[in-house]
């Protein structure tokens, strides 16, 4: 049988050092992903340097935005709205901290689904992404109230309740799985100290369903999951770890599935995700390179023909911290 070839999409597995769109950034040796959550100031700015290349490709963030919006579960919005309505000082409007905001897709999804005036504080380490997120943010809430924004940079490892003073809500998208257990614990403690809820969406669950199936699906999945856990990151264990961390601080935690469901209409996203997914698996297990290249070529050909269906499982987590003062 002739080996399938991809017509529109290259089947070459990404090399180490390239951005891996479906798995997040490819890191230099010894690095971990960093999400900036505090004002950096001159000293921290010198550490990162304005010339440092972005670790997340904005093209990838834009490409996935539609699938992200369709996947996020609306089931967590009603309990969130109830909690927000009962927060002290709600009459003055909401202050929402969006951690690792990227191009701002979370704000574009959530702000128009919440009532009342909102001030969004957008956090990211990349000034280009911060600018993009700020200029493309929504300007009105569900009831027509004004939405305003500001941008900040800082470091998740130093996040404290002081960084969230006045916060009504902390939110993030596709963040938890690139954190360590210590960083998730820091985040949970900061939210508990501020007495604010957290809505953390689209964390990888470690499961992928492809149709039609292939014998190599499970092996690629296992290698990808191991790659996600590299250097102490939580990867697909993140939702469980975050739930435990928030519960340890007295928060009520709810988790709901938020899968991507990709079909022929999503072929560009599916092809990009496939390259990143397979590339991360091969980076983790180089002995898979030869069969993975054939696998990727066949998968991209099926994608190009509109014959591939993919479900990438994620989870959304809502943690309702006790409001400051101990009220339930």
Runs of H (alpha helix) within the chain? 41-48, 58-71, 77-85, 105-110, 127-135, 181-194, 217-228, 238-248, 267-284, 289-304
Q: Which two tokens stand for residue 279?
A: 């590339």
Q: Which two tokens stand for residue 197?
A: 């809820």
pLDDT of 88: 77
More confident residue, 38 or 54: 54
Q: What is the percentage of the chain residues whose pLDDT exceeds 70?
A: 80
pLDDT of 14: 56
pLDDT in tens, 226-261: 999 999 999 999 999 999 999 999 999 999 999 999
Contact 36, 155 (CB under 8 A): yes
pLDDT higher than 80, residue 90 = no
Q: Which two tokens stand for residue 151?
A: 């941008």
pLDDT of 158: 62
Q: Give how many domains the chain has, as a whole number.
A: 1
Alpha-carbon distance 202 to 87, whole Å? 25
pLDDT in tens, 137-189: 999 999 999 999 999 886 655 667 788 888 999 999 999 999 999 999 999 99
- In a domain? residue 89: yes
**pLDDT range class, residue 192, cuts 50, 70, 90:** very high
Q: What is the pTM of this model?
A: 0.85
pLDDT of 37: 42
DSSP string, 192-243: HHHT--EEEEEEEEEEEEEES--TTHHHHHHHHHHHHTGGG--GGGHHHHHH
- In a domain? residue 177: yes
- In a domain? residue 289: yes
pLDDT of 25: 35
pLDDT higher than 50, residue 215 = yes
More confident residue, 89 or 285: 285
Q: Which of 176-190, 270-284, 296-310, 314-328 has the lowest mean pLDDT?
A: 314-328
Q: Which two tokens stand for residue 86?
A: 């009962």
Contact 90, 84 (CB under 8 A): yes
- In a domain? residue 327: no
CATH of the domain at 227: 3.40.50.150
For residues 90-124, one letter each, b for 16 or more C-beta atoms within 10 angstroms of the residue's C-beta and e for the rest, the string is eeebbbbbbbbbbbbbbbbbbbeebebbbbbbbbb
Domain region containing 171: 41-320
- In a domain? residue 144: yes
- In a domain? residue 25: no
51: how many CB neighbours lie within 10 A of its CB? 5
Most confident of 75-89, 174-188, 288-302: 288-302
- In a domain? residue 49: yes
């Amino acid at each position: 049988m002739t080996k399938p070839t991809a017509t529109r999409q290259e089947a070459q597995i990404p090399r180490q050092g390239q951005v891996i769109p479906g798995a997040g950034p490819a890191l230099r040796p010894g690095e971990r992903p960093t999400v900036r959550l505090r004002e950096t100031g001159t000293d921290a700015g010198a550490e990162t340097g304005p010339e440092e290349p972005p670790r997340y490709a904005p093209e990838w963030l834009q490409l996935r935005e539609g699938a992200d919006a369709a996947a996020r579960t609306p089931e967590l919005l009603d309990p969130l709205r109830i909690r927000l309505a009962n927060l002290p000082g709600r009459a003055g409007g909401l202050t929402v901290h969006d951690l690792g905001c990227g191009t701002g897709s979370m704000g574009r999804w959530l702000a128009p689904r919440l009532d009342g005036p909102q001030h969004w504080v957008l956090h990211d380490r990349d000034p280009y992404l911060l600018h993009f997120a700020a200029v493309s943010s929504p300007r009105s809430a569900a009831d027509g109230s004004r939405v305003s924004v500001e941008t900040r940079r800082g470091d998740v490892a130093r996040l404290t309740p002081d960084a969230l003073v006045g916060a009504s809500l902390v939110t993030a998208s596709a963040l938890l799985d690139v954190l360590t257990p210590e960083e998730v614990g820091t985040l949970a403690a900061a939210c508990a100290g501020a007495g604010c809820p957290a809505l953390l969406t689209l964390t990888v669950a470690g499961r992928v369903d492809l149709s039609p199936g292939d014998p190599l699906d499970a092996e690629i999945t296992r290698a990808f999951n191991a790659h996600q856990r590299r250097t102490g990151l939580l990867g697909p264990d993140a939702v469980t770890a975050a739930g435990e961390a928030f519960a340890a601080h007295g928060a009520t935690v709810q988790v709901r599935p938020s899968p991507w469901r990709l079909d022929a209409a999503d072929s560009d996203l599916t092809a990009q995700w496939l390259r990143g997914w397979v590339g991360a698996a091969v980076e983790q297990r180089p002995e898979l390179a030869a069969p993975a290249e054939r696998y990727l070529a066949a998968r991209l050909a099926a994608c190009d023909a509109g014959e591939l269906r993919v479900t990438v499982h994620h989870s959304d987590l809502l943690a309702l911290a006790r409001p400051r003062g101990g009220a339930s």
